[in-house]
Amino acid sequence: MNKLTASFFRIKEDICTMSVAENLKHIQDSIPQHVTLVAVSKTYPVDHIMEVYDQGQRDFGENKVQELAAKAEVMPKDIRWHLIGHLQTNKVKYITGFVHMIHAVDSLKLLKEINKQAAKDDRVVECLLQVHIAEEDTKFGLSHDECEDLLINPTVSEMKHVSIKGLMGMATFTDHQTQVRREFLGLKNLFDRLAQKHADLAYWNPTTLSMGMSGDYLIAIDEGSTMVRVGSSIFGERDYN
């Protein structure tokens, strides 16, 4: 284990000995006002999530449709739910009635389906286009060109029930901070370029750049993130079993 990794794990241990409310406060204090914190509650039980809700947190993120729908049903209605994970077309209909924002739109087919289902629910669903910025090829997302092509596709201009609010990306999972920083900077540059170049598109309302997780949210904010998705640094280590 190198020095950086060792100190990272020590910080994680400190965080684990604090309460969920203290963790939340710590994260909030490190985030500037213009950045929205999405508390990523996937795998955590409702009573833990309620501890965070009771501290005033209202934006929560889940990565699975079933889990999101189940939690939304039993939790307070003023929560803004974010679907942050990969979304299959056939599952869109379960969330368009209530979801606040869908972060991982990566195809025209998916966007069409979101528009179709949101129309039935008489809603406009906020969407982010997911861009592939990591070195790993396991992560989903569009290339820069694919992202722009999707954004300017003529069929999108006919969609009355989606609003494209910006971009989302996940950096490579690595200790190399310069690499992570470079990947976030690349996404920020794309965001700025598309925001300017296509400012005339009515459905393109670029206010949101969703990047940064527990391990890299401070770097992401440095590089222009306006929305961070933080899970384990608030709730503690995840138990996937």
One of 40, 105, 162, 190 touching ligand PLP (CB under 6 A): 40
For the bound state, the minimum distance from the C-beta of residue 179 to ligand PLP, rounded and expressed in Å, comes to 17
Nearer to ligand PLP, 60 or 191 (CB): 60
CA dist., res. 145 & res. 149, Å (int)? 6
Task: Tell me how many helices (H) and strands (E) the chain has.
Answer: 9, 8
As given in the structure block, the two tokens for residue 119 are: 């129309």
With CB atoms as reference, the residue minimizing the distance to ligand PLP is 231
Asked if 130 touches ligand PLP (CB under 6 A), the answer is no
Please, which residues bridge with residue 125 across strands? 162
Q: Is 191 exposed, middle or buried, given 0-12, 13-18 or 19+ CB atoms closer than 10 A?
A: buried
Which residues on adjacent β-strands are paired with residue 211? 169
Contact 108/150 with Cβ under 8 angstroms?
yes
How many residues interact with ligand PLP (rule CB under 6 A)?
A: 14
Amino acid 65 reads V
Choice between 117 and 232, CB closer to ligand PLP: 232
The nearest distance, CB 146 to ligand PLP, in angstroms, is 19
Q: Which amino acid is at 194?
A: L
Residue number with CB closer to ligand PLP (156 or 215):
215
Using rule CB under 6 A, residue 227 touches ligand PLP: no
Region of 3-11, 112-120, 197-205, 212-220 interacting with ligand PLP (CB under 6 A): 212-220
Site for ligand PLP in 59-118 (CB under 6 A): 63, 84-85
Locate tokens 């400190």: which residue? Answer: 14
Q: Is 213 a binder of ligand PLP (CB under 6 A)?
A: yes
In single-letter form, the type of residue at position 74 comes to V
Residue 92 or 228 with smaller CB distance to ligand PLP: 228
Rounded to a whole number of angstroms, the CA Rg of the chain reads 18
Q: Which residues bind ligand PLP (CB under 6 A)?
A: 40, 42, 63, 84-85, 170, 213-215, 229-233
